[in-house]
């Protein structure tokens, strides 16, 4: 049965029996499931990864043979997992505090009595009593009286809408004037706002270039690590008759070298540092890798109300046309008026000095449908305030009225006995730093689009005052019905008005074909587009669903914070890219050396403890400090390609040294232990050369890091030679090998630099 047509007396409401019957039938206003990840999802996503699985399996093998000291690397994995879980759960809990339902109570009529209940206890068919300031908690139909409603969180339109008997009310909107009774039509998942939210219930995993690169390495490794590991172990244990302990330890070292453990931890720490920095700037990061994604953004879609503007109506100017005390007249008017919408709140804040109190003879309240209101005072006659085009006037208003309207201001004309005496200009002011932010985005090559459910002319004027260059390229999407036309407009226009939620989603999808797109929003009408965007940003004062689906939440509702996010994202990517070559050297040489060991039927020359020592001293230590340096240059090129190509020469030099030492072992009079020690020292010092390259151009910090790495590795080998199974032998030979290696790397590095210079020079000439 359609309960909208059920004959329920609004004064009596539902009976206790009827309420219970609807509860039994499941017709209760159960809120939609949260669209954010659960704690279990967060733990699962951080723990159960291919990278962690491969490292864990190697750890199990080492544990079974009692090689406990070689399991130290697992601490790195554990720290990285804990960082990810802790950060995400903290952000989730903070968002849930921010997104408590504003209207947690509702007034309903039951058994002829007015009662206050929790919004989740509303049942279908309930009669709600709604008055100014109430949030509508369920879709309903007005059954008695009329009121004014703001649906901006649902539609994006800031205009007040008059709702009369028979009109539909949507959950999530607010009553801004009047008082009425409404019968609940739809509850829970059936409501309009829930239908929108249902489309984004499944959490969308954010793509991170850095994490995706690690995933690619892990996937490649997963294909080769098992067969390589099996062959190395079989050769060692069954063919060369090596002990089980050494067979497992040497095989584990080969496999661990292919997995960039330290790099994963460095990415986690660097991102977590960004999260902490941004939290101090009132930016809540829900997914710590979204900063890195934002660094790639080249199109930013902004909402108008509450994003570019402050979201609060204010009186910006008052002009009088005749010689009257307009301030005194309006002070009496707003003090005597019973209206309490946003416009009147703004006027009360402005006209706050009532030096003389007038006597009121008659009042006509303001109506959003009529667009004007009036009060007749004994001292000055009938004063009317309202939209110029809706008022009865004895003379034509001055041209200033039309000019102000064209500039995008909300204009209220003030008349005395139907004669214009002045006008009040109201505006939702743009945020203080909006122009500066727009200029920054333009300088950084980020194309801004303004997408709003509001009037396109109003949106264009807001964009103009905020500093958007192409503000004149605006379009009213309420007139666009063909999806192909809409997709075409996405590339030719900058300002979009009267945009529906689905149209916002289509615009974002279309722009993503050629760009990386970020989207801001604060309402239910934004959630579809927010979920589709490459990086989504919500306002703290916005709807709960928008905050749950977004990756960033601006706690002070100020979009001018976004340049800080961009800077942090660029710092993470640029610095990680700079130091990644140090980590990928081990990945490359471990893979190549493992193949060579299989072909030659020899054991892998290192043990996990040796690899872990290089991870800490040569890779982790300098990279950790360098990752914090400011570096907000534009991100260019593919991260993985740049990192691997930079690491490859060092890995090749290491392999050449290993092969040379092995082939000429007898000629050099090297014992087996001396050979392994020499190989380890060559590995360490060539890796130190990679640190030297990464530290360029040098500054005091980088000089200190390079020198301390070189000294630290040398002292470590000297002091802990027993644990590392390595010692300094044949120093002259070591120096010869390192000098040759340095010369080879210098030649390769210089050739790459020349190629880069030539490309840059050609590009400059072509541009000129």
**C-beta separation of 95 from 38 below 8 A:** no
Contacts of residues 94-98 at CB distance under 8 Å and 24 or more positions apart, as own/partner, are 94/284, 95/36, 95/284, 95/286, 95/547, 95/548, 95/553, 96/34, 96/36, 98/540, 98/547, 98/553, 98/555
Q: How many angstroms separate the Cα of 369 from the Cα of each of 161, 372, 560, 703?
A: 8, 8, 36, 72
Alpha-carbon distances, residue 505 vs 43, 199, 535, 541, 609 (angstroms): 30, 11, 13, 22, 52
**CA-based nearest residue to 233, from 244, 223, 224:** 244
Report the candidate in 530, 507, 502 with the shortest Cα–Cα distance to residue 286. Answer: 530
Selection from 29, 32, 37, 31 nearest residue 548 by Cα: 37
The continuous run of DSSP H or E covering 267 comes out as helix 261-279
Structure tokens at 360: 């009121």
| Sequence-distant (≥ 6) Cβ neighbours of residue 356 within 8 angstroms | 328, 332
Closest CA to 613 of 729, 683, 713: 713
Question: How many Cα neighbours within 13 Å face the side chain of 720?
Answer: 12
Q: Among candidates 714, 724, 734, 730, which has minimal Cα distance to 606? A: 724
Nearest partner of 348 among 327, 368, 365, judged by Cα: 327
Q: How open is the CA angle 28-32-35, to the nearest 5 degrees?
A: 170
Structural tokens at position 553: 């939440």
Could you tell me which residues come within 8 angstroms of residue 288 by beta carbon, excluding any fewer than 6 positions away? 84, 87, 88, 268, 271, 272, 274, 275
CA distance 361 to 374: 11
Residue 274: which of 294, 291, 293 has the closest Cα?
A: 291
Which segments within 433-579 are labelled E, that is strand?
Answer: 447-451, 474-476, 495-497, 517-521, 535-539, 552-554
- Round to whole Å and give the CA distance between 406 and 345: 24
Which residues form the catalytic set? 303
């Amino acid at each position: 049965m359609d309960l909208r047509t059920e004959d329920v007396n609004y004064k009596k409401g539902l009976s206790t029996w009827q309420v219970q019957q609807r509860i039994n039938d499941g017709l209760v206003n159960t809120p939609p499931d949260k669209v954010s990840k659960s704690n279990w999802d967060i733990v699962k996503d951080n723990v159960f990864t291919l990278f962690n699985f491969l490292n864990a399996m190697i750890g199990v093998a080492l544990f079974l043979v009692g090689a406990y000291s070689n399991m130290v690397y697992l601490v790195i994995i554990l720290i990285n997992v804990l960082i990810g879980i802790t950060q995400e759960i903290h952000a989730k809990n903070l968002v849930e505090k921010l997104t408590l339902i504003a209207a947690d109570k509702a007034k309903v009529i039951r058994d002829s009595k007015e009662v206050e209940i929790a919004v989740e206890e509303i049942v279908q068919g309930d009669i709600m009593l709604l008055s100014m300031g109430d949030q509508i908690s369920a879709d309903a139909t007005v059954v008695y009286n009329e009121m004014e409603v703001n649906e901006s969180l649902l539609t994006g339109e800031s205009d007040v809408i008059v709702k009369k008997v028979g009109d539909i009310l949507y959950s999530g909107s607010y009553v801004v004037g009047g008082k009425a009774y409404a019968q609940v039509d739809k509850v829970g998942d059936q409501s309009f706002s829930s239908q929108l939210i249902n489309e984004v219930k499944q959490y969308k995993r954010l793509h991170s270039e850095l994490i995706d690169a690690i995933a690619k390495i892990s996937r490649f490794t997963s294909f080769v690590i098992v067969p390589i590991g099996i062959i190395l172990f079989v050769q060692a244990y069954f063919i060369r008759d090596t002990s089980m302990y050494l067979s497992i330890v040497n095989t584990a070292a080969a496999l661990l070298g292919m997995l960039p453990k330290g790099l994963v931890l460095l990415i986690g720490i660097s991102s977590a540092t960004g999260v902490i920095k941004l939290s101090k700037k009132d930016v809540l990061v829900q997914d710590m890798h979204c900063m890195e994604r934002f660094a790639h953004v080249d199109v930013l879609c902004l909402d108008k109300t509450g994003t570019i503007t402050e979201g609060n109506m204010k009186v910006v100017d008052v002009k009088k046309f005749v010689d009257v005390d307009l301030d005194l007249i309006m002070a009496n008017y707003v003090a005597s008026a019973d209206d309490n919408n946003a416009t009147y709140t703004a006027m009360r804040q402005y006209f706050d000095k009532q030096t003389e109190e007038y006597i009121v003879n008659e009042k006509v309240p303001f109506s959003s449908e009529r667009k004007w209101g009036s009060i007749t005072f004994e001292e000055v006659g009938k004063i009317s305030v309202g939209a110029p085009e809706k008022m009865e006037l004895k003379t034509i208003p001055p041209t200033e009225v039309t000019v102000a309207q064209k500039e995008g201001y909300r204009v209220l004309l003030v008349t005395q006995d139907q004669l214009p005496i002045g006008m009040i200009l109201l505006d939702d002011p743009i945020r203080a730093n909006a122009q500066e932010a727009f200029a920054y985005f333009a300088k950084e090559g980020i194309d801004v689009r303004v997408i709003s459910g509001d009037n396109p002319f109003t949106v264009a004027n807001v964009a103009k005052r905020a500093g958007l260059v192409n503000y004149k390229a605006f379009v009213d999407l309420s007139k666009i019905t063909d999806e192909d036309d809409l997709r075409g407009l996405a590339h030719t226009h900058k300002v979009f008005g009267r945009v529906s939620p689905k149209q916002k989603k289509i615009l974002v999808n279309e722009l993503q074909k050629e760009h990386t797109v970020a989207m801001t929003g604060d309402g239910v009408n934004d959630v579809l587009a927010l979920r589709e965007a490459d990086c989504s940003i919500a306002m703290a004062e916005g709807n709960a669903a928008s905050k749950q689906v977004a990756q960033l939440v601006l706690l002070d509702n100020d979009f001018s914070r976004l340049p800080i996010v961009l800077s942090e994202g660029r710092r993470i990517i640029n610095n990680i890219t700079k130091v990644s070559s140090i980590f990928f050297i081990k990945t490359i040489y471990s893979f190549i050396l493992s193949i060579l060991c299989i072909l030659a039927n020899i054991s892998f020359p290192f043990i996990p403890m040796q690899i872990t020592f290089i991870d800490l001293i040569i890779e982790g230590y300098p990279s950790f400090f360098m990752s914090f340096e400011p570096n907000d240059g534009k991100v260019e090129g593919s991260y993985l390609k740049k990192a691997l190509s930079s690491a490859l020469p060092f890995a090749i030099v290491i392999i050449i040294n290993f092969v040379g030492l092995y082939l000429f072992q007898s000629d050099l009079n090297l014992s087996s232990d001396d050979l392994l020690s020499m190989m380890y020292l060559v590995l360490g010092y060539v890796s130190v050369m990679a640190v030297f390259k990464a530290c360029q151009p040098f500054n005091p910090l980088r000089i200190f890091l390079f020198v301390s790495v070189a000294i630290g590795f040398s002292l470590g080998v000297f002091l802990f030679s027993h644990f590392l199974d390595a010692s300094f032998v044949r120093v002259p030979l070591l120096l010869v090998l390192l000098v040759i290696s340095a010369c080879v790397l210098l030649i390769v590095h210089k050739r790459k630099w020349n190629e880069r210079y030539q490309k840059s020079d050609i590009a400059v000439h072509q541009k000129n």
